């Protein structure tokens, strides 16, 4: 829907001015139904509920700014005209255009004159947009989910362990590393896939009650060890103690049945990590994910032993690169 009031005045044979207020409204609803046949394990075990349940994608949209005020001047000459236009909606926009008279008779030229004018005005309008809009189309975002599948054999708790990640092993990151503007960890997720007691009896989530007092995960930045020209293997790196350690997630009173093959314990990560992460990954894109397990509720011995603990934790990193 569109309506408005526009007034114009011709001051003399060379100058025309106009002013108007206009209301424009565009809204609607978009819905896409997913094909649920042949869902693979990555979708079934995804930490995102929308993917696990194969929900339809539903998006509603509407015009951000409905009202605009517009004014301008047309300056006419024998060979053509110049137009100045100022519009204010959610942001001010200034446009400048010009047109040429291609034929001698103005009556024959009017249609061509207006057509040329609007083409030039449209091009200049794009160049006159707010710099934030131009900046937004000069950047591109992509996300890399890091899936860590960890088998702990003969695991005892309380205990601390770590896994290593090297972003250089991911082609999408290496292709865009030189243009990296920002890196941020957006989500962290943790669940237990399998657990076997020390007597080789598998854990039964329907019958057994097992509660771990706390489980914590930390991000620790890494650096290559000295005198290693091309570090790639985990043994080629060590923790970088000059950089802060960040807590990614802390789960208290972990009832194993609630975490047993249920990928819905998701943490949204604070933005303070992004400031350090952006600076580090440009030159040293390596880090450790450190897991720290507390005691089992009711534990009376220094250590509680398990034959197997198979866990999975996911880290989603969003990268912004310049185009």
CA distance between the termini of the chain: 36
CA 289 remoteness from chain centre: 21
pLDDT tens track for 92-127:
777 777 777 765 544 444 444 444 444 444 444 444
- Residues 156 and 68: their CA atoms lie apart, in Å, by 67
Can you tell me whether residue 66 is helix, strand or coil? coil
pTM over 0.75: no
- Residues 39 and 28: their CA atoms lie apart, in Å, by 30
CA-closest candidate to residue 268, choices 191, 161, 184: 184
Helices and strands in the chain: count of H runs, count of E runs: 7, 16
Region 216-220 average pLDDT: 90
More confident call, 100 vs 250: 250
pLDDT tens track for 278-302:
778 777 888 898 999 999 999 999 9
Residue 315: count of CB within 10 angstroms of its CB: 22
């Amino acid at each position: 829907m569109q309506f408005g009031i526009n007034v114009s005045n011709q001051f003399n044979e060379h100058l025309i001015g106009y002013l108007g207020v206009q209301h424009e409204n565009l809204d609607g609803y978009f819905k896409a139904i997913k094909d649920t046949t042949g869902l693979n394990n990555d979708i079934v075990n995804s930490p995102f509920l929308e993917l696990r349940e194969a929900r339809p994608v539903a998006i509603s949209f509407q015009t951000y700014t409905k009202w605009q005020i517009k004014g301008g001047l047309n300056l006419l000459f024998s060979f053509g005209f110049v137009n100045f236009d100022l519009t204010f909606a959610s942001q001010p926009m200034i446009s400048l255009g010009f047109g040429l008279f291609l034929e001698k008779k103005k009556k024959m030229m009017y249609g061509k004159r207006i057509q040329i004018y609007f083409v030039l005005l449209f091009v200049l309008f794009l160049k006159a947009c707010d710099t934030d809009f131009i900046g937004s189309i000069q950047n591109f975002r992509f996300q890399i989910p890091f899936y860590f599948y960890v088998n702990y054999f003969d695991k005892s708790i309380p205990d601390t362990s770590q896994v290593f990640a090297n972003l250089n092993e991911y082609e999408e990151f290496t292709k865009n590393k030189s243009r990296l503007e920002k890196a941020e960890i957006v989500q962290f997720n943790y669940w237990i896939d399998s657990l076997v007691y020390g007597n080789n009896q598998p854990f039964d989530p329907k019958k057994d009650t097992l509660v771990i007092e706390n489980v914590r995960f930390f991000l620790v930045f890494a650096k290559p060890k000295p005198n290693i020209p091309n570090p790639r293997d985990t043994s080629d790196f060590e923790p970088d103690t000059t950089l802060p350690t960040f807590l990614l997630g802390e789960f208290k009173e972990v009832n194993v049945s609630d975490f047993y093959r249920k990928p819905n314990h998701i943490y949204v990560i604070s933005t303070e990590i992004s400031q350090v992460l952006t600076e580090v990954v440009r030159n040293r894109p390596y880090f450790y994910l450190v897991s720290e397990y507390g005691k089992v509720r009711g534990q009376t011995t220094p250590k509680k032993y398990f034959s197997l603990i198979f866990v999975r934790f996911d880290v989603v990193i969003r990268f912004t690169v310049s185009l």
